[in-house]
Structure formats: C-alpha cells, structure tokens
Amino acid sequence: MTRLANRPAIMTLYSNNGTCSESHCVRLVLAEKNVEYDYQIIDPSNTTEELQRLNPYNEIITLVDRDVVLYDTQIIMEYLEERYPHPPLMPADPVARANNRLFRYRMQRDLYGLVDALLNGGERRSAKARRQLRENLVAIAHVFAKKPYFMSDEYSLLDCYFIPLLWRLTTFKIDLSRQPEPLQEYAQRMFQRESFKTSLNNLEREIPK
C-alpha cells in the first residue's frame, strides 16, 4: 500500500470488510457526488502500519484526501458534503440541517448500535437485537407515507445513512416484505437509484433480496 508521503492525489477510503454497512454509507455519498476514489479493504486482524499511523484509534474506516485524514462515518459524510456541494445532500435551512444531524445520531444509536450484536452476538443476543431492530423499523415506517425521502422532500445524507442498513436486512434475518408497505416502497425506490447501484461492491451485490 502506498505510503502517506507518496500517495496519489486521488481520495482513498479504507474499509474493514467488503460488506461493512458504514463504509457503504460513505461510498453511497461518494457515488452521489460522482467522486473518484481508491477503495482499500483491510483485514481487521492484520491492519497495516500506515493505517495505524493515520487513525490513532485503530479504527479501519478512514478517508484520506490529500493532507486530510478523517475517521468516523458521520464526520466523513459531512466533509464530503462540504467538499463537493453538488448535488446538495443537506437542507439549506439551519433547523432542518440540525434535525438531519439529530436523526442520523438517533439512527446511529438505535439502529446501527444493534449491528454488532446481529452479526457477532450469540443466539440469544442476536435474537434480541433482531427483535429490537424490527420494532424500530416498524416504529418509523409511517414517516415514509408522508414524504418521498427520510423526513424530507429531498434526498439527503439521512437517506445515505439509512439505505445501506435496509439493503442488509436479509443478512440480519429480517424479512423486508413483512415490514410496513411505506417502508418497503421507499426501500425499492432507493435501491433503484443509479448512485446506489454504483456504490455496491461485488460482495454487496450478492446479498440476497
């Protein structure tokens, strides 16, 4: 892998595996912005010295853009929004922008916070997380009957953060067809977006639907 001092000008995204949902969120934003980047998949059990130097928390999801090194999915997504403002993925109104950030924070805690238990927990722990995720999805499904996008008339970072999770429901053993109809319709529309198709890597395309 290229050393920091000699790396090319192209942006580099480090990901912890080929089906990482949070990495997919970043790739979806990159696809929406039509940004060219280098995609590096890192084995969590064998991280490189360069990545360890770039990320002091030894986390793998890291974005390198020239002299800028960023980690944390939300920070990376917002950086990309500001670095490449078109098409806009955040509302112009400050209150709406704050609500967008708040909903993403809640999604991070209430939905993404269950992913580790779903994938790596024992039978009882994963079953509990599956039930919680299903209940959380049912609780928010009604919002998609009112707006074409997540709590908005415009596609935003909130959608970019939510859609990769929906794509993985079969991996979590949750049947999307049993979810409320507005949520199903929203998911199918989002999966048909050209940017979403572009954002998928080979492993993600193989996730059964």
CATH number of the domain bearing residue 79 = 3.40.30.10
Per-residue pLDDT tens digits for 152-181: 999 999 999 999 999 999 999 999 988 999
| Total domains, the chain | 2
Average pLDDT rounded to a whole number, residues 137-153: 94
- Looking at the predicted structure, is the pLDDT value of residue 97 above 90? yes
Evaluate the omega torsion of the peptide bond into residue 87 and state whether it is cis, within 30 degrees of 0. Answer: yes
104, 178: one domain: yes
Higher-pLDDT residue of 17, 157: 157
Question: CB–CB of 100/91 below 8 Å?
Answer: yes
Domain carrying residue 114:
94-193
103, 155: one domain: yes
Query: Is 199 within the bounds of a domain?
Result: no
User: 9: pLDDT confidence band, cut at 50, 70 and 90?
Assistant: low
User: 58: pLDDT confidence band, cut at 50, 70 and 90?
Assistant: confident
106, 77: one domain: no
